[in-house]
Amino acid sequence: MSTANNNDYPNAQLLVDVRWVEDHLASSEVVLLDARAQGYDAGHIPGAIWLNAKHLKDTSNHTFVSAEGFREVLERSGVSDGKTIVVYDDGSGVLATRVFYVLEYYGHIDRVKLLNGGYTAWTAAAKEISAEAPRVQIGTIAAVSDERRVITKEDIQAGGHNRILLDVRSADEFSGSDQRTNRKGGHIKGALHKEWKDALGPADELGVVRFKDFPTLKQEFETLGLSPDQTIVPYCQTNQRGAHTYFILRLLGYSDIRPYEGSWDEWGNAEDTEVVR
């Protein structure tokens, strides 16, 4: 197994490297978003605009921020229709992939890319950093929700042909031994388990964590029992880790991925849900 540093993935256009970002820093057609939870003010890729991924979730309803709220967040970050959006976090987290997923849910398919290795890869390559926030030109972006990219509690309870539930939480959360703050611990009946971070390779000598290569990821998901002709339903606690697996499956060429947005935050606290330990 090796980490990804090639274009072997079926949807390799969704992933860029440090060189690509460096070559496009001056492009007016590219918007660079820093999705890290902290560290932006101390240093970021020049021209990157900070975006708080938490603003893309409506925690009161276990769902996405409204279309209006989505537009406001992205437009204030300089995003406009037709632009290429590149998102990064530290490279080993779930924030960039969460932004990626919500953008695709709101209709921006194949317009969003991730920096493999994130900000850690950028600094490890000794590239220039900046502590200055760029002047943002307010954008104009559409927001049309794509319900084929999400699934609800009621959908799961109704069942579905050729649908695979994929629990991407830790093994202890899956078994129920780690219940966190939920009323119920365990997993949804019939769910397979593969922790989200299994898709990441080990840190290299400079501390950079990148995605595993295509042959390794393909084999791991096939061994688990997944195939691209199925409907795959990732879920976790709040669908941040689930969104990471959404990105990985998109990268691998899976075409029908419908994360459970409510995830365990909803399922593990609802009165009418069945839980398996």
Task: Report yes or no on 133 lying in a domain.
Answer: no
Domain containing residue 195: CATH number: 3.40.250.10
Q: What residue type is 165 in one-letter code?
A: L
Residues 31 and 118 grouped into a single domain: yes
Taking each helix axis as running N to C, give the angle between helix 95-105 and helix 241-251, from 0 to 180 degrees, rounded to the nearest 10: 70
Residue that finishes a domain, picked among 57, 89, 124? 124
Task: Report yes or no on 60 lying in a domain.
Answer: yes
By DSSP bridging, strand 163-167 and strand 192-193 are: parallel
Residues 179 and 257 grouped into a single domain: yes
Task: Report yes or no on 137 lying in a domain.
Answer: no
- Per residue in 99-109, pLDDT tens? 999 999 999 99
Q: What residue type is 53 in one-letter code?
A: A
pLDDT of residue 224: 98
Report, as an integer, the average pLDDT of 223-228.
Answer: 96
What's the distance, CA 79 to chain centroid?
Answer: 18
- The three-point CA angle 67-113-203 to 5° equals 120
Domains of the chain: total: 2
Residues 152 and 116 grouped into a single domain: no
Report, as an integer, the average pLDDT of 213-233.
Answer: 97
Q: Structure pTM?
A: 0.97
By DSSP bridging, strand 192-193 and strand 112-115 are: unpaired
Q: Integer distance in angstroms from the first to the last C-alpha of the chain?
A: 32
Answer yes or no: is pLDDT of 219 > 60. yes
Strand partners, 211: 200
Would you say 243 and 94 are in contact if contact means Cβ atoms under 8 Å apart?
yes
Residues 54 and 109 grouped into a single domain: yes
Residue that finishes a domain, picked among 61, 93, 124? 124
Task: Report yes or no on 273 lying in a domain.
Answer: no
Task: Report yes or no on 4 lying in a domain.
Answer: no
Residues 248 and 160 grouped into a single domain: yes
Residues 224 and 112 grouped into a single domain: no
Would you say 2 and 216 are in contact if contact means Cβ atoms under 8 Å apart?
yes
Residues 28 and 109 grouped into a single domain: yes
Range of 232's domain?
A: 147-267
Task: Report yes or no on 206 lying in a domain.
Answer: yes
Would you say 75 and 140 are in contact if contact means Cβ atoms under 8 Å apart?
yes
d(CA 224, CA 54): 31
Residues 168 and 78 grouped into a single domain: no
Residues 118 and 200 grouped into a single domain: no
Answer yes or no: is pLDDT of 113 > 60. yes
State the pLDDT confidence band at 1, using cuts at 50, 70 and 90.
very low
Identify the weakest region by mean pLDDT among 2-11, 21-30, 124-133, 171-180.
2-11
Q: What residue type is 17 in one-letter code?
A: D
Residues 27 and 84 grouped into a single domain: yes
Task: Return the active site residues.
Answer: 236
Answer yes or no: is pLDDT of 140 > 60. yes
What are the two backbone dihedrals, phi and then psi, of residue 212, each rounded to the nearest 5 degrees? -60, 160
Report, as an integer, the average pLDDT of 237-256.
Answer: 98
Q: Provide the mean pLDDT of the chain.
A: 96
Report, as an integer, the average pLDDT of 74-84.
Answer: 97
d(CA 165, CA 191): 5
Report, as an integer, the average pLDDT of 260-274.
Answer: 98
Find the length of the chain.
277
Task: Report yes or no on 140 lying in a domain.
Answer: no
Task: Report yes or no on 119 lying in a domain.
Answer: yes
